[in-house]
Amino acid sequence: MHSVARYSLVFLVACAGAAGADSLPDRRAVSVNGRGEVMATPDRAKLAMSVEVIKPDLRAAQTEVNRIVRDYLASAKTLGAKDEDISTAGLSIRAEYDYSGKNGRKFLGYHVTRGLQVQVRDLDKIGDFLLRATDAGINNVSDPQLESSKAEDYQRQALAKAAIDARAKAQVLADTLNVKLGAIHTLNANVDNDQPQPPRPMLMMKMAASAPDADGNSQMGFSAGQLQYSASVSAEFDLLAP
pLDDT tens digits, 139-184: 999 888 999 999 999 999 999 999 999 999 999 999 999 999 999 9
pLDDT band at 203 (very low <50, low <70, confident <90, very high): very low
Q: Which residue among 147, 178, 211 closes a domain?
A: 147
Which residues constitute the domain of residue 207?
24-41+149-242
3-class DSSP assignment, residue 128: helix
Give the CATH number of the domain where residue 227 resides. 3.30.110.170
User: Structure pTM?
Assistant: 0.69
How far does CA 222 lie from the centroid of its chain? 21
Q: How far is CA 207 from CA 142, 203, 219, 221, in A?
A: 20, 12, 5, 9
Give the CATH number of the domain where residue 140 resides. 3.30.70.2970
Q: How many domains, the chain?
A: 2
Task: Centre a 10 Å sphere on the Cβ of residue 154 and count the other Cβ atoms it contains.
Answer: 20
- The rounded distance, in Å, linking the Cα atoms of 116 and 90 is 7
